[in-house]
Chains A and B, each alone.
Chain A
Amino acid sequence: MFDIERWQEIFDAIRKNKLRTFLTGLSVASGIFILVILLGFGQGMQNGIAKEFENDASTRFGFWTNATSKAYKGLNAGRSIQMRNENFDYLENKYVDVLDSKSGVFRVRNALIVYKKETGSYRVEGVTPSFQILENQHMLSGRFLNFADQKGKLKVAVISKKIKNELFKGKEDPINQYVAISGINFKVVGVYGDPSERDENRIVIPIATAQAVFNGADKVNNMYFTMKPVADFEEAVTQSTLVTAQMKSYLQEAHTVSPDDESAIGSFNTLEEAKRYFNLIDNIKLFFWIVGVFTIIAGVVGVSNIMLIVVKERTREIGIRKALGAKPWAIVGMILHEAIFVTTIAGFSGLIFSMGLLEFVGPYIEVDYLLNPSVNFNVALTTVFVLIFAGVVAGFFPAWKAANIHTIDALRHE
């Protein structure tokens, strides 16, 4: 391997057979290139999906209620279920270690909103300060609800950009103005924006105020939670699925609902949905891998094909070398050495070129569900070595055969 004389022999052969060398190299380099690009796009799709879920609070889960669909413990089906503050407080305390943001929601029905001469019909929801994080709302001006509002049951409201445009006609600053919600004045303290247009149809007020002012007693319509971040995705999914199920059982028990009544207590879990997407991505990546591996196999076949031709082309030369005293192993070594050298150089060229492309072009790709395609360097490196090894194996047999042709036959070969 480190025999300088052998290297010089090989460089001589390569320099004088440029086309052959180029073609061998091309099949290897393109194999690696395609594989790396495919793997890069697999990763890019994964990044893209992850990004999509980043927009919503990706670990969010929640509950809502409906009428029961099954009779249970002597109670009829069709009974309507109402969650209460005590349910929310119980869950909040029980899971305090794992929960991050949490909010109960009390919906004020049929509220008419009036500001001066403008009126509008919007959803009015009583929520906690955490609601901002749960809905991924960002403040455009003013502030969101805080715990003081909650504690003092203050009549304050946060409106959306859309509502501001409609009620205040975009001219006046709504902060510190009063809007009437079903005839009761609330002071506007902030304006929020939401990534989703649909969610901008909502005015939020403190849940304590909403319950007190709008005859809500201790009723809660929805509950939303997020989990504290966990490094491992699988663990996060398992944990949140488990907590969702446990909370659901608690709610069913507290309201005497049959455990197999699917409609009475409804729940959703974003993370589970995300997991489904990630599974899909895993499958796509697997598919890319398979395509990539077949590309590599095609590359190896290409290399062995060229090796066969090379050996055939050089049979006479091999005969001459043997007549001059080359031992069979020297011949095998020479051919393999050349093959390894060419495959290595070509493999790394393909690697560097494709990784360079991903590096420089990747960040500029702006397509949904595709973000910053990149590839794990170690994986790509391993692939190059696999290809080199396969090239060696593919080249060995023709080389060995050629080295063992009778010298006299090799010399007669045209």
Chain B
Amino acid sequence: MIEIKNLHKSYKMGSNSLHVLKGINFSVKEGELVAIMGSSGSGKSTLLNILGMLDELDEGSYDLDGVEIKNLNETKAANYRNKFLGFVFQSFNLINYKNAMENVALPLYYQKVARKERQEKALKYLEQVGLKEWADHLPSELSGGQKQRVAIARAMAAEPKVLLADEPTGALDSKTSYEVMDLIQKINDQGNTILIVTHEPDIADMCKRIVHLKDGVIIEDKKVEQVRAAQYVQ
């Protein structure tokens, strides 16, 4: 599904150049649930941004579902993002003047899905994350965990090839974190490919594979026995 070869990325900071990613080789198969771990500054967010086409690579190659991602302009990137990717952010990034259902329906608007169908689909995904009754609530009326579940529903609504989550539990307490991870695991169980960036070991342990990044290189890449989050959720 994802194939990355010899990925380099550096940022210019004034006259200095900061080499963030120093030759990453990395691949993800369909249906995997991968945690990308590392301390801050290890380059894990940069890697996720490049995977999410929010940022461009300097060197190397990136194939997503057999399509080579290169020479991106904003329009092309927007197209690919809409077709291939779903995002979940640490800070939820819901649009505050739209209710839960409208937020979930938004990616479908950009897929030119008709309004009625959009709403039906949005409700279906809200139901999956257990928030159907909250469909007409604004984000400000939802708790952190609920917001993140709406965000996950929104990411799933576009039926992406890959779900990218950047610290999805970073702003949540541990109980809510487990609820969110439980949801992510269930989505993964349905066969969806998911990448999670996190620095919390217990969250990483709930994935099927952990990739450890340090100073821009992968120092460890191992399959793990998945800890089910359901056991922490009543």
Contact = CB atoms under 8 A, between A and B. Distances in A.
Interface string A1-17: 00011001100110011
The range of chain A's interface size is 20 to 34
Nearest to A322: B78
Interface of A: 4-5, 8-9, 12-13, 16-17, 316-317, 319-330, 403-404, 406-408, 411
Contact of B78 (A17, A316, A328, A408): A328
Contacts of B94: 320
If over half of A's interface residues share one DSSP class (helix, strand or loop), that class is named, otherwise mixed; here it is helix
B115 A322 contact: no
Interface in B63-97: 74-75, 77-79, 81-83, 87, 89, 93-95, 97
22 contacts: A5-B112, A5-B114, A12-B97, A13-B97, A16-B98, A320-B93, A320-B95, A321-B106, A322-B74, A323-B52, A323-B81, A323-B87, A324-B110, A324-B154, A325-B81, A325-B82, A325-B158, A327-B75, A327-B110, A407-B74, A407-B77, A411-B54
A329 B93 contact: no
A5 B49 contact: no
Contact of B79 (A4, A325, A403, A411): A325
Contact of A328 (B74, B82, B83, B89): B74
Given A5-B115, A16-B98, 14 more contacts: A9-B109, A12-B98, A316-B93, A321-B106, A323-B81, A323-B87, A323-B93, A324-B81, A324-B106, A324-B107, A324-B110, A325-B78, A325-B81, A325-B83
Contact of B102 (A12, A330, A403): A12
A319 B95 CA distance: 10
Given A8-B115, A16-B97, A17-B97, A324 B89 contact: no
Interface of B: 49, 52, 54-55, 74-75, 77-79, 81-83, 87, 89, 93-95, 97-98, 102, 106-107, 109-112, 114-115, 154, 158
B97 A324 contact: no
Given A13-B97, A323-B54, A324-B81, A408 B75 contact: no
A64 B79 CA distance: 90
Contacts of A4: 115
Nearest to B45: A408
Nearest to B113: A5
A329 B73 CA distance: 12
B100 to A, nearest CB: 14
Given A12-B102, A13-B97, A324 B49 contact: no
A406 B75 CA distance: 12
Contacts of A316: 93
Nearest to B112: A5
B134 to A, nearest CB: 18
A411 B89 contact: yes
Contacts of B97: 12-13, 16-17
